[in-house]
Amino acid sequence: MTPDIEEIKIDGITAEINENAIIINSDIPLKTLSSAVLNGGLIESRSILNYQVPLDYSHDDPKKDLKRVSEAFDLKPPVIGLMTGVNIKNVSIKNEMRNNISTCAIITAGLSNPAAAGDYIPIQDFGTINIIVLIDADLTNSALVDAIKTITEAKTLVLHDLDIRSPYSKHFATGTTSDAVVVACTGQGGTYEYAGTATKVGYLSARVVIKALKIALEKQEGIV
């Protein structure tokens, strides 16, 4: 692997990168909260799929398409499924570890359709920032929600630092129109009820997202 694509440093979890997909497999069920296209929400899963589609992909039935792809890869259901128009080879995988907590971010990121929250957007193009964060700890359901909030704040901070603007309002972009986020915890180790910016889990999650997202955007968009 290249320096910006690290191995996942959480026991029992691996990442496979092929021509058009990133597949994350876990030996144990992961408690997962996400906005994924396939099996979003709060579920347990051993597989997370980030699948590359053409930029002119038809949005007719993405869930069906992702289910077909997951079956072709012989992934055990339920599979968390994401789609991206970004070159899957431009993924960034980074780890952060401290105080017996390990986190890993797997990010693909494109900026073909940046926007600011609150913009009126007449059409939705297909380009996205897909963020997957793995946490080797036991997070309560509310802590998973907290983690998504912290991760989203970290994403927005990176876009602000890079001066990414919405073409609709000229405000700083807060994301793209089709972003997705996945937070998955192993259920092992200590139990955490919070994952905001002042917590250990939140701190590590934000740091790993900032690090990985900057690299993913540099690889895909050439922005530094």
What distance in Å separates the CA atoms of residue 53 and residue 63, rounded to the nearest whole number?
Answer: 13
Neighbouring C-beta atoms of residue 97, cutoff 10 Å: 14
CA 134 to the chain's CA centroid? 9
Chain segment 45-75, per-residue pLDDT in tens: 999 999 999 877 877 899 999 999 999 999 9
pLDDT tens digits along 143-202: 999 999 999 999 999 999 999 999 999 999 999 998 999 999 999 998 999 999 999 999
Domains of the chain: 13-221 (3.60.70.12)
pLDDT for 122 beyond 90: no
- Nearest Cα residue to 11 out of 81, 104, 99: 104
pTM of the model: 0.96
The model's pLDDT over 16-35, given as tens digits with 9 standing for 90+, comes to: 999 999 999 999 999 999 99
Predicted pLDDT at 126: 59
Residue 60, pLDDT score: 81
